[in-house]
Amino acid sequence: LEQKITVRVATPDDKHFAETITNEMEESAKARGTGIAKRSPQYIEKKMDEGKAVIAHTPDGTWVGFCYVEAWEHGKYVANSGLIVAPAFRKSGVATEIKRTVFELSRRMYPDAKIFGLTTGLAVMKINSDLGYEPVTYSELTNDEEFWKGCQSCVNFDILTSKGRKNCLCTAMLYDPVEKAKQAPAPLPKINGQRVHVAGEHHRRQFANNFSLFDRWVRFKQFVLLKNWRKKLGDSQDKGILGLLFFW
Ligand SMILES: CC(C)(COP(=O)(O)OP(=O)(O)OC[C@H]1O[C@@H](n2cnc3c(N)ncnc32)[C@H](O)[C@@H]1OP(=O)(O)O)[C@@H](O)C(=O)NCCC(=O)NCCS
């Protein structure tokens, strides 16, 4: 079914969508069985008031998707969070378009900010990677207590705490405008009319495109974290090396 979907910055007129959005966030988190920071309809409405949200809808006003901008440490860091697409509209590029729009909005509002996200979802990792984000350790993210408080409502919060906030099941990805500015303007050097391989560039691209490897790495990481966690709880279901091989 071909449907025209509008993706745009949300306004206060979109507040009637707020409850639908938070309900779907909760339902999706339950369905996936993964953790997520819970948000109230009031919080969503505030984001719409501030012009820090992106909404997707059909021409007849059916809600399709949402995402918002959060700033930390006075705009030094920005997160594009709460990405959600209504189940009926998934897998047709809506999330890609929403993330592109919210990314551009963030770049406009906070041109010097490092833009980051925490996610367990492969779709989000793919989208972020295409936008120029790279995987990082949690030490590269904001230290702002308010940001990390958002994790308290996640089912995996105990894991995050036990790891001293250095690691958890989510993969952290970050877009650094300073690093990007260094990479972008360099024209391709030519020697005798041939394109020259630039050290580092190929490696980066290969990683961005090789999602089966990325996926396996993420699952491996989650396996190790969960295994350690189960051990801590005294669970004897340790699958050891066999489980490790399975995940790799
Ligand atoms: C994650 C979510 C936003 C993706 O929305 P979507 O509109 O289906 O995503 P897109 O169609 O733009 O897909 C983007 C890419 O991810 C891939 N993808 C989509 N869903 C996927 C899935 N469940 N598993 C793996 N890859 C997936 C697509 O194939 C596409 O890859 P491509 O560019 O190589 O073709 C949506 O499934 C959702 O709302 N899930 C529940 C909430 C959630 O997980 N939010 C993220 C919290 S961080």
Amino acid at 178: V
Identify which of 50, 54, 141 has the alpha carbon closest to the alpha carbon of residue 104: 54
For residue 1, report the distance from its CA to the centre of ligand 1, in Å.
19
- pTM here is 0.81
Atom 26 in ligand 1: which residue has the minimum CA distance? 123
Over range 41-66, report the average pLDDT: 97
- Find the DSSP H helices in the chain: 18-32, 41-49, 94-109, 122-131, 145-149, 157-162, 177-183, 201-209, 211-232, 240-247
Over range 194-211, report the average pLDDT: 46
d(CA 69, CA 52): 5
9-47 per-position pLDDT tens digit: 999 999 999 999 999 999 998 887 766 667 899 999 999
126-169 per-position pLDDT tens digit: 999 999 999 999 999 999 999 999 898 888 999 999 999 999 99
For residue 198, report the distance from its CA to the centre of ligand 1, in Å.
32
Q: Mutation test of ligand 1: which of 36, 64, 68, 91 has the most ligand atoms closer than 8 Å to its C-beta?
A: 91
Segment (H or E) for 217: helix 211-232
* Distance from the Cα of residue 171 to its chain's centroid: 8
164 CB-side CA count, 13 A: 3
Number of residues assigned to the chain: 248
Q: Mutation test of ligand 1: which of 21, 90, 94 has the most ligand atoms closer than 8 Å to its C-beta?
A: 90
pLDDT value for 221: 77
Lookup: tokens for 17: 């969508």
Helix, strand, coil content of the chain in percent (nearest 5): 50, 20, 30
61-70 per-position pLDDT tens digit: 999 999 999 9
Give yes or no for residue 169 CB within 6 A of ligand 1. no
Q: Three-state DSSP class for 40?
A: coil
Q: Given the CA of residue 120, which atom of ligand 1 is nearest to it?
A: 48
Q: Given the CA of residue 82, which atom of ligand 1 is nearest to it?
A: 47
